[in-house]
Amino acid sequence: MQDAAAQVQELYDQAGLSINTAEVMPDHIGVELNFLAVMLERTHSDTSSKDEHVNMTGQFLNEHLLNWSPNFTRDMENAAETPLYRALARATRKIIEFIGR
């Protein structure tokens, strides 16, 4: 677990991003989804560095997020006690898989 946290922290550092609270681990799904959102936004808003942002986003997806999030979201979907959380887990998985194509 610490290796994964260190790996994503390194990517955040490369991107010039930081987590504003010590209570949240760098590899928390919420932090990772926020990082993904920021990087995707940068690919569209910062055209001078678009290739760098695309490469970093691809590295993050392929070396990290796509390795564990499908199982995590399936587990979340199976454990959910309400339709809302089942749908949220399924939608999260589908969106990540779509972006990773």
The answer to whether 33 touches 99, Cβ cutoff 8 Å, is no
Q: How confident is the model at residue 22 (pLDDT cuts 50, 70, 90)?
A: confident
**Which pair of tokens denotes residue 76?**
């979340």
pTM of the model: 0.87
Q: How confident is the model at residue 42 (pLDDT cuts 50, 70, 90)?
A: very high
> How far is the C-alpha of 67 from the C-alpha of 71, rounded, in Å?
8
pLDDT score at 3: 85
What's at 100, amino acid-wise? G
The answer to whether 46 touches 15, Cβ cutoff 8 Å, is no
Residue-wise pLDDT for 45-81, tens only, equals 988 999 999 999 999 999 999 999 999 999 999 999 9
pLDDT, averaged across the chain: 93
Q: Which residues contact 51 (CB under 8 A, 6 or more apart)?
A: none
